[in-house]
Amino acid sequence: MLCGTCVEPGRFELIERPLPVDLPEGWAFVDIAAVGICGTDYHIYAGKHPYLNYPRVIGHELSGRLVTSAGGIEAGTLVVINPYIACGKCRACLRGKPNCCSNIAVLGVHRDGGLCQRIAVPAGNLTAAEGLDEIQAAMVEFLAIGAHAVARSGLAAGDRVLVTGAGPIGIGTALFARLAGAEVHLLDLSAQRLALAREKFGFQNTYEDASRVLEGDRADGFDTVFDATGAAAAIEAGFPFLAHGSSYVLVSVVKDHIRFDDAEFHKRETRIIGSRNAVQSDFETVMAAIREGKISTHALCSVILPLADLPQRLPELAQDRAGLIKAVVRL
């Protein structure tokens, strides 16, 4: 089979490997149907991912067909793959939080991913994609990141919410915050991204200039701020946007120190919440929203590519993502 492999930073190739035949107990083979390309994949290609060894088969936003029946799902069923392989033994796992397992292995990051014909995964990481097509099923995982962040935030209907960073994760977060009844505002430095948010998803409260965010009746801040920028400076700049009694949800992760004014933080009685990956309930929330037409995957999917085109297209996509929400590779 051909595997989409980042051989080293800046070098992506389709490399032939044997079809896998060894299957650990409790695992299942899945023939991959479609793969979403994530910001993580672009970072891996650019050599900017801190937790990765090369060469690496990328791909963790995955849909496919189950090869043999497993986990109560029949062979041939279209499934969504949860790419977070947890140990099941650490404190987080024993407390029902496998998304932040202390020994987590994420497909396409800590171990080879699914940009290939067939992959073996734990049967418990599979969910039947009932009512979804192959492309939609490959988009569930990235949307689950935003759904998880909103679930972690505890926001209530009518809350005023600011999402900083209008890339794919930020848009997903904004969509699920709106579904939860929040009044959603978006901040991004890219006019092109904000235009997409308005035109494709109807978000009218958008700001390219951070100085405008607290104007008028917004002067007292936001009940919840979600950061999806991936930039330490942007995270630090988000603290003044927090209202008294608010929550700051860090969806993006940076390998850096975050500094803030403790007096201002305590005065507001702010909660800082880390949001990592997603859990099964988030996957189910996303699939239900897609089935019910509450989330338009058509609007989210910018381009569908055949695997053979990816060695040429990946560098192009990585170079300019401002007008891109989600690229999906069809196997």
pLDDT 10s digits, 20-58: 999 999 999 999 999 999 989 998 999 887 778 999 999
pTM: 0.96
Topology (CATH level 3) of domain 146-274:
Rossmann fold (3.40.50)
Q: b or e along 284-315 (b: 16 or more beta carbons within 10 Å of the residue's beta carbon)?
A: ebbbebbeeeebebebbbbeebebeebeebbe
Q: To the nearest whole percent, how much of the chain has pLDDT over 90?
A: 93
Q: In this predicted structure, what is the pLDDT of residue 255?
A: 82
Tokens 């990956």 belong to which residue? Answer: 277
User: 216-253: per-residue pLDDT in tens?
Assistant: 999 999 999 999 999 999 999 999 999 999 999 999 98
Tokens 């608010």 belong to which residue? Answer: 246
Q: Which CATH superfamily is domain 2-130+301-330 in?
A: Medium-chain alcohol dehydrogenases, catalytic domain (3.90.180.10)
C-alpha separations of 58 from 11, 137, 169, 198, 309 in Å: 12, 18, 18, 31, 15
Q: To the nearest whole percent, how much of the chain has pLDDT over 70?
A: 100
User: 145-202: per-residue pLDDT in tens?
Assistant: 999 999 999 999 999 999 999 999 999 999 999 999 999 999 999 999 999 999 999 9
Q: In this predicted structure, what is the pLDDT of residue 49?
A: 79
Q: In this predicted structure, what is the pLDDT of residue 51?
A: 74
Q: In this predicted structure, what is the pLDDT of residue 320?
A: 84
Query: What average pLDDT does the chain have?
Result: 96
* Predicted confidence band of residue 128 (pLDDT cuts 50, 70, 90): very high
pLDDT exceeds 90 at position 203? yes
Residues of the chain with CATH 3.40.50.720: 146-274
Residues of the chain with CATH 3.90.180.10: 2-130+301-330
Q: In this predicted structure, what is the pLDDT of residue 62?
A: 98
Q: What angle do CA 112, 115, 116 make, to 5 degrees?
A: 95
